[in-house]
A and B are shown apart, each in its own frame.
Chain A
Amino acid sequence: DAGITQSPRHKVTETGTPVTLRCHQTENHRYMYWYRQDPGHGLRLIHYSYGVKDTDKGEVSDGYSVSRSKTEDFLLTLESATSSQTSVYFCAISEFRAGGGGTDTQYFGPGTRLTVL
């Protein structure tokens, strides 16, 4: 498995509290992604990063912000958690290969299970 860790692995919090999830990689890959996984919806992209301090929104970015101050770390913040943000959150990384055509393989972290009461 690629060197990707996520912390915490489990978290229970209350509505209205801020929450930060961390993704750390040791692969020096350029691209990092945050997904949420919910039954019946597969994996939905929240935000992604294509370099230090370079981020962009995904399909379900409302209520989430991200930061990437170092290549190896990508943080996902829920400024004020809501029950609808109860989910499993996965971080992924990829390294585009020149001439490879389109997106590259994504390697996923172990996930963080977040429950918002």
Chain B
Amino acid sequence: GQQVMQIPQYQHVQEGEDFTTYCNSSTTLSNIQWYKQRPGGHPVFLIQLVKSGEVKKQKRLTFQFGEAKKNSSLHITATQTTDVGTYFCAGGGSARQLTFGSGTQLTVLP
């Protein structure tokens, strides 16, 4: 079945530093979605990418979808303490299901 790998599993950064998490799928995806989960909370949808090579920005967050639609990345510029949490990518296949990556837990040190 479809597998989605995400790295790194953990990342500690100083406030103000940049952060990137990467996602790779074993199969071509119809779309990729990103979610954020704050400590003790539930996953919350951030964005969906559908097109090959697509790049979307949300303030300090930049999301990319690879040309082959098998990989994606999330980059945060100048991290803030409010960015703390676990970021998940989720790949969409042919059915109404998502395959989630294992997540990257971001810690921002003040």
Contact = CB atoms under 8 A, between A and B. Distances in A.
Given A42-B102, A59-B1, A108 B43 contact: yes
A103 interface: yes
Contacts of B102: 40-42
Instruction: State the majority secondary structure of interface residues on B.
Output: loop
Interface in A76-117: 90, 92, 94, 96, 101-111
A92 B45 CA distance: 11
Contact of A103 (B1, B6, B97, B103): B97
B97 A90 contact: no
B100 A42 contact: yes
Instruction: Give the interface size class of chain B.
Output: 20 to 34
Contacts of A110: 41-42
Contacts of A31: 96
A111 B41 CA distance: 8
Contacts, number: 66
Interface of A: 31, 33, 35, 40-45, 48, 50, 58-59, 90, 92, 94, 96, 101-111
A58 B9 contact: no
Contacts of A41: 102
B34 to A, nearest CB: 11
A1 B96 CA distance: 21
Given A102-B92, A105-B33, 7 more contacts: A33-B97, A42-B103, A43-B43, A59-B1, A103-B97, A106-B98, A111-B42
Interface in B17-49: 29-31, 33, 41-45, 48
A101 B98 CA distance: 13
A96 B99 CA distance: 16
A45 B97 contact: yes
A41 B95 CA distance: 21
A40 to B, nearest CB: 6
B50 interface: yes
Nearest to A30: B96
